[in-house]
Structure 1
């Protein structure tokens, strides 16, 4: 990486690289390159057109060179792999990336460059604001896939972007490289926006148009497969929504159920809830706590390995939940659970170890089991967090 930076510094500085990933785009590549070069010339921008070829077998590489573009060969397959290599090889301060299928207009990059010059670090195109020509986007993508995934992205990561998956976008090259983008597939598009949002980059959105692509073959995108990969990425990058909120909801529901049933059976109309329901509420409490702890584990792990930036939650866990406190709290819960168990044994002894009313005794046994299990979870969670923190202590 340092070598690439040195090479770039030694060349005449370019302001803009127009980057296109390519896999067998011989039919549309010439017109895309011509439009990109026309923009550079008309706007008076010192720049280049760079093709990140992902192993084309139709002669796209030579076509690109003949049309005046520079080509970087990327043997590792994948949309993200091609773009990551292209960003590393780019010589411009700014990079505009767009598909090489002639669906985006490379002569209309003025708004993107203007926002970059005014300090934006990521400029996203918005096809819904700029216009989608008939036949340019399948109805499944236009009315379900893109709106749903974009809404989830805005909700999870508090970003204003309304078109999460627009393929035409521009960015400050150094700012983007600092994010250490890693996804090699189609989910790269989501990773760029998510990491830019989490790291506080200045992101703006400009209208852009989408035209039907000029290919004579089906697109590389697979709707359900790639849609799931985007959704999976959004979930995995948000432990709060994947683990914390569902876990806390389940935990509170379980605690509420046990509290309502602790005094005795509860009737709602003709339906009566008793210890059987209380047992399920106890299970919800235990599972909810475990899922919520997964949120802490995932967040701490992601921060320690540089996947996600640090947050207040991680800092609070480090400060207020060291191994010793976790063990003390966990052992306290275990002791309370054992105490309740002994109380139930004493009640059994009072009946000469004979028959007991299950409805009464289980109201002691179930909470004792719940409290004991919570204690064990907390104690081992503290130990596991200590293991996750070993890397930090070793680095220090």
Structure 2
């Protein structure tokens, strides 16, 4: 029998043996490890996790979610007492989700299989779960980071900046957003309905837990240099950008709505100030040129606000974001009919201003007119017509997005 075939037989035997031993009886804790070619460190991690369960009297199991390893990791996991769950879909998040779905424990603890996390800290996480928390995060900055365990760029820039951004955007108390060891209840996890399959999975878990108002706690843990001889799967700039992109996309309020409202406010104030006449500002005079930029700011701001509302409706409809009561209250007034009325009023106002300009031109015998004076009419007319038209069509689009919700 070939080594490869023998490995597959060993994995199947390990799975069958563990399944019959555990049966249908529920467990308290399942330790899930994502795995992609972790033969160097997997046995050590499985042994440490099982020892932590045994030494602390925890009724639990270890599940290795294998993402297509080709180095015999499956057989190693089974030989050391873990249950192997094959995951054909590639990705950190896909592997973890499959392992968590297959878990038999009431609670789940996830940790990398690279021997960088301390499985002896499992009781810390379990204690917080037993106290009623839905998600318990590890904090490596509180527990200690060993020499060479985290690149300086991650330690002093990437992790602190992304964690701060996550706390600010989602009002969550987490100090280490990307800690690889964390624990949660199965009921709390199922409520999250996580969608990402890559490294963003870790961020999505914290973000959705915060948005749903789940109870989140944090415990100190340590990070040591992993035991692998190969480079880690994590790519600094690529995965850092993916986390940043995810945080921004899951916050349409700050990505679209806030900048859009600010642009509209500034543009509207400048327009009202500059419309009657030129205004001195220090050593310069602000005139119709600045007025044109102010009108452009209003239009651009409206586009961003529209994108923000549309993104919010779509994300809520598709289950990417939870229901927002304050947003729902606004939607009682932001209807297709309301939008059409407001848009029509603006459109007719713009047409009226344009018509008055044409009449003034006619009274002048269609000859040359003072350009600055005419621009003070043309710009508001253009702004009202464009904004009114956009509001009408945006109302139809939002109504189309909201059909499923209604």
The answer to whether 1:346 aligns with 2:359 is yes
CA distance in 1, matches of 2:336, 2:205: 36
Partner of 1:117: 130
CA shift at 1:267, angstroms?
Answer: 2.3
Partner of 2:163: 150
1:19 to 10, 17, 32: 32
CA shift at 1:380, angstroms?
Answer: 1.1
CA distance in 1, matches of 2:355, 2:330: 33
Please say if residues 296 and 314 of structure 1, whose CA atoms lie closer than 8 Å, have aligned partners that are also in contact.
no
Q: How does 1:125-140 map to 2 (within 5 A)?
A: 125-140=138-153
CA shift at 1:392, angstroms?
Answer: 2.6
CA shift at 1:281, angstroms?
Answer: 1.1
Q: Secondary structure at the match of 2:28?
A: strand
Partner of 2:387: 374
CA shift at 1:341, angstroms?
Answer: 1.1
The answer to whether 1:238 aligns with 2:254 is no
Please say if residues 23 and 54 of structure 1, whose CA atoms lie closer than 8 Å, have aligned partners that are also in contact.
yes
Structure 2 gap segments, 5+ residues each: 1-19
CA distance in 1, matches of 2:35, 2:319: 30
Q: How does 1:1-396 map to 2 (within 5 A)?
A: 11-393=24-406
Partner of 2:12: none
CA distance in 1, matches of 2:81, 2:268: 68
Structure 1 gap segments, 5+ residues each: 1-6
CA distance in 2, matches of 1:10, 1:210: 35
Partner of 2:5: none
Q: Secondary structure at the match of 1:320?
A: coil
CA distance 1:313–1:337, change in 2 (3 Å): farther
Q: TM-score, normalised by structure 1?
A: 0.95
CA distance 1:159–1:69, change in 2 (3 Å): same
CA distance in 2, matches of 1:23, 1:321: 49
CA shift at 1:92, angstroms?
Answer: 0.3
CA shift at 1:389, angstroms?
Answer: 1.6
Please say if residues 17 and 49 of structure 1, whose CA atoms lie closer than 8 Å, have aligned partners that are also in contact.
yes
Please say if residues 22 and 53 of structure 1, whose CA atoms lie closer than 8 Å, have aligned partners that are also in contact.
yes
Q: What do the CA deviations read for 1:15-37 (whole angstroms, capped 9, x no partner)?
A: 00011001111111111111101
The structure 1 segments of at least 4 consecutive aligned residues displaced by more than 4 Å after TM superposition are none
CA shift at 1:314, angstroms?
Answer: 3.1
CA distance in 2, matches of 1:169, 1:256: 49
Q: TM-score, normalised by structure 2?
A: 0.93
